[in-house]
Chain A
Amino acid sequence: MLTRTAILAVIGLAGPWLVSEARAKSKWKSQGQLALEGRTFSDDANPLTVDQGLGLFGRLELEHKHKPFKEKARLYGRLDQQDMRRTILVIEELWAEWDLGPFELRVGADILNWSATEAFHPADIINARNIDSDAENYEKIGEPMVQLSTRIGRGTLKGIFMPFYSQPILPSSRSRLNFLPPGIDATELETLRLDYRGELTDSRFGPQGALRFTQTIGDADLDLHVIHHMDRSQPEVLFDLNSGTIHPVFRAVTQVGGTYQHVVDAFVFKLEAGYRWFVEPEGGTTIYGPLQERNHLQVAVGAEYGVLSDSDVEHTFILEAQSVFGVDEDIRKSLQLFQRDALLGYRISLGDVDSTEVLVSMIVDLEDPEHVFLNANFKQRFLESWSVSAGARMLFSPETTASGGINVPPGASHVRVVLTRYF
């Protein structure tokens, strides 16, 4: 904890100095941000959870280019004054790249974003997440990997090998995102993994890989992929009856999927899908009991429509929907936060020098429309190097259950204000 705090302090205090030093050399590029985050939750009548938060978030990025090589480091950290267990330091990127002409080789920790849609991401599953962060777009954690890419015709083929499982950040018992019963702290439990052989292990090493092909065809972008990796989107839970302890369990999975985006006039239509085959325990069960059959297809569709008014104000309307097929309702709800839901969003960008923008969105559970998740956010730049954003998230839910899905308060209702200095 002390080390993390010290490194965060270094980002905050030495970051601007490092940036100015780096700029002095022509082949270096650098940037960063330091943000003060304040948030207040609605009262959940649980004395264990923290209803108010005041945190310091920092991100630092350094890049060095000297052809044919390129190196990059990017890390972020958060120091929460109210809940020290939210204090984290994460390496997002730490890699070196070598341009070999027809091939490009990159070695090191990296984060990937293969998503086409705004809220539902069936195709974007690589990388462990900080599950104690924004539910629609979790913060990602860099995964050590070797990436080799090459051009094939007008497309790009990329092969990825990942030998190490980065650990997701699970919410503590003080977090409003805690998915375990009150008083049980996921961060203090031993996390297990069901590896590619179907063996339960606490090892952090194992083979993971992916192949991805992307190509632009006229007005459309196509991405196809096959991935075998350790799924870390939402843990399953096993009980050790002998010791009475709980183990969060992540399982190896193979996914075939892709995304398709097509521009028609002012519309952008999107399709994102993935079929997942989960590894089954060797012999059909683990030493702590069986795991559920979870193979499923996840499909998200979306459309975005933008229109510009005479006063240069841009209005964007977003409609997305997602469903999971092949598993029953109980299992579906344990897979991830959103399963059969629809998003309706509206963004207004004033087109001014301060890039003022307001986004409002509503996610509705299509199986139970009484569960509604409302989000509103305002963002504006000021004094060129600063920005302020303020938002509110409200959950309307007639009941809360432990079965997962958006009928569990995803962080519950709260308001937040973030003041950011960019450098």
Chain B
Amino acid sequence: MNAKLILSSIIACTLQFVLPSQAQSPEEKGLELAKKLDLANEGFISESSEMEMDLINAQNDVVKRRMSIRALEGKGDGDKSVATFSWPADVKGTRLLTWTHKNGDDDQWLYLPAIKRTKRISARNKSGSFMGSEFAYEDMSSQEVEKYTYKLLGEEKLDGRDVWKMERYPVDKRSGYTRQIVWTDKEYMNPLKIEYYDRKNELLKTGLFSDYQKHGKHWRVSKIDMYNAQTKKRSILVWKNRKLGEALDEDDFESDALED
């Protein structure tokens, strides 16, 4: 009798630990993975880098965009970042300050150096093109867990690397996407490829993430090749001189600090 009770207890305890994970829906697994990835990318404190973007049209004409980025990891909310544009020359010195929020719209300010004015702007139009490129503002902003719902599709190999394949759906109705399919590298804990589907649920563009580099315990992408399947245009974004963990002054991420 006692042995039977002990066996029942063991089975009950085992099921308690085993069954919930087996019973997790793909959505729950997706959210769990998103949180795991977010945790792996946490703790970078700050990040600064220079970025160069090649904008290539369907005729293979290339124009360049250059900017520097400084970002401060958020405490309890999203990250803060300042992008300073350095090319083309007519926008040189223009700065964009973004306070990303886990919930709700981001806050944004634009500094116009010619008239020395800092202008508060609405961050609602996040699906708009970033500097005329194939990247949208929402692609460039901090990817907080709360901005999507998730569905894990499975595990597979991509270019010989182990990846999780996951679908995510923007929470914000004003996003330019209905869904994204993300292939996340298990070592880098970051995407290798993302397919973006437009509001009509048709493939809009594909981003290929490559040249990962390790900075301390964090992996960071150094190149994204974004190809627009509908316009046949391509934008290649490359990071240089990236530094993580520097002691940046939080006051530099206030709107009045944008002015020269």
Chain B proximity of A319: nearest CB distance (Å): 15
Chain B proximity of A356: nearest CB distance (Å): 9
Query: Is B1 interfacial (CB 8 A cutoff)?
Result: no
Q: Per a CB cutoff under 8 Å, which of A72, A151, A266, A351 touches B132?
A: A351
Query: Inside 8 A of B87's CB, which chain A residues have their CB?
Result: 384
Chain B proximity of A288: nearest CB distance (Å): 37
Q: Mark A64-104, 1 if CB is under 8 A from B, else 0.
A: 00000000100000000000000000000100000000000
Q: Mark B51-80, 1 if CB is under 8 A from A, else 0.
A: 000010100000110000000000000000
CA distance A422 to B92 in the complex (A): 9
Query: Is B102 interfacial (CB 8 A cutoff)?
Result: no
| A387–B90 CB distance below 8 A | yes
Query: Inside 8 A of A352's CB, which chain B residues have their CB?
Result: 132
- A: contact size bracket: 35 or more
Query: Is A385 interfacial (CB 8 A cutoff)?
Result: yes
Query: Is A173 interfacial (CB 8 A cutoff)?
Result: no
Q: Per a CB cutoff under 8 Å, which of B55, B88, B122, B260 touches A422?
A: B88
- Name the CB-closest residue of A to B125: A308
Binds A, one of B36-44, B139-147, B162-170, B250-258: B250-258
CA distance A423 to B89 in the complex (A): 6
Residues in A278-310 with C-beta less than 8 Å from chain B: 304, 306-308, 310
Query: Is B199 interfacial (CB 8 A cutoff)?
Result: yes
Query: Is A353 interfacial (CB 8 A cutoff)?
Result: yes
Q: Per a CB cutoff under 8 Å, which of B92, B93, B124, B255 touches A265?
A: B124
**Binding site of B, secondary structure by majority: helix, strand, loop or mixed?**
loop
| A385–B88 CB distance below 8 A | yes
Query: Inside 8 A of B120's CB, which chain A residues have their CB?
Result: 116, 221, 261, 263, 268
Query: Inside 8 A of B64's CB, which chain A residues have their CB?
Result: 384
Query: Inside 8 A of A154's CB, which chain B residues have their CB?
Result: 254
Query: Inside 8 A of B115's CB, which chain A residues have their CB?
Result: 113, 137
Query: Inside 8 A of A191's CB, which chain B residues have their CB?
Result: none
| A384–B88 CB distance below 8 A | yes
- Name the CB-closest residue of A to B136: A312
CA distance A115 to B107 in the complex (A): 19
Residues in B232-260 with C-beta less than 8 Å from chain A: 251, 254-256, 260
Q: Mark A99-136, 1 if CB is under 8 A from B, else 0.
A: 00000000000011101100000000000000000000
Query: Is A46 interfacial (CB 8 A cutoff)?
Result: no
Query: Inside 8 A of B260's CB, which chain A residues have their CB?
Result: 63, 72, 93
- B: contact size bracket: 20 to 34
CA distance A281 to B93 in the complex (A): 45
Query: Is A314 interfacial (CB 8 A cutoff)?
Result: yes
| A353–B122 CB distance below 8 A | no
- Name the CB-closest residue of B to A212: B256
Query: Inside 8 A of B132's CB, which chain A residues have their CB?
Result: 351-355
Query: Inside 8 A of B90's CB, which chain A residues have their CB?
Result: 33, 355, 381, 385, 387, 420, 422
Query: Is B129 interfacial (CB 8 A cutoff)?
Result: yes
- Name the CB-closest residue of B to A270: B120
| A216–B89 CB distance below 8 A | no
- Name the CB-closest residue of B to A263: B122
Query: Inside 8 A of B121's CB, which chain A residues have their CB?
Result: 268, 306
Q: Mark A378-399, 1 if CB is under 8 A from B, else 0.
A: 0001001101000000000000
CA distance A219 to B122 in the complex (A): 10
Q: Mark B87-99, 1 if CB is under 8 A from A, else 0.
A: 1111111000000
Query: Is A214 interfacial (CB 8 A cutoff)?
Result: yes
Query: Is B49 interfacial (CB 8 A cutoff)?
Result: no
Query: Is A31 interfacial (CB 8 A cutoff)?
Result: yes
Give the top 5 A-B pairs by smallest Cβ distance, nearest first.
Answer: A422-B89, A353-B132, A308-B125, A266-B124, A113-B117
Please report B residues at the A interface, Cβ cutoff 8 Å: 55, 57, 63-64, 87-93, 105, 107, 115-117, 120-125, 127-129, 132-133, 199, 251, 254-256, 260
Please report A residues at the B interface, Cβ cutoff 8 Å: 31, 33, 63, 72, 93, 111-113, 115-116, 137, 151, 154, 156, 214, 216, 219, 221, 261, 263, 265-268, 304, 306-308, 310, 312, 314, 351-355, 381, 384-385, 387, 420, 422-423
15 A-B contact pairs sorted by A residue (CB < 8 Å): A33-B89, A63-B260, A111-B116, A214-B255, A263-B107, A263-B122, A265-B122, A266-B125, A312-B127, A312-B128, A351-B128, A351-B129, A351-B132, A422-B88, A422-B92
Q: Contacts A268-B122, A351-B128 given; 5 further ones with Cβ under 8 A?
A: A221-B120, A263-B120, A263-B122, A306-B122, A384-B88
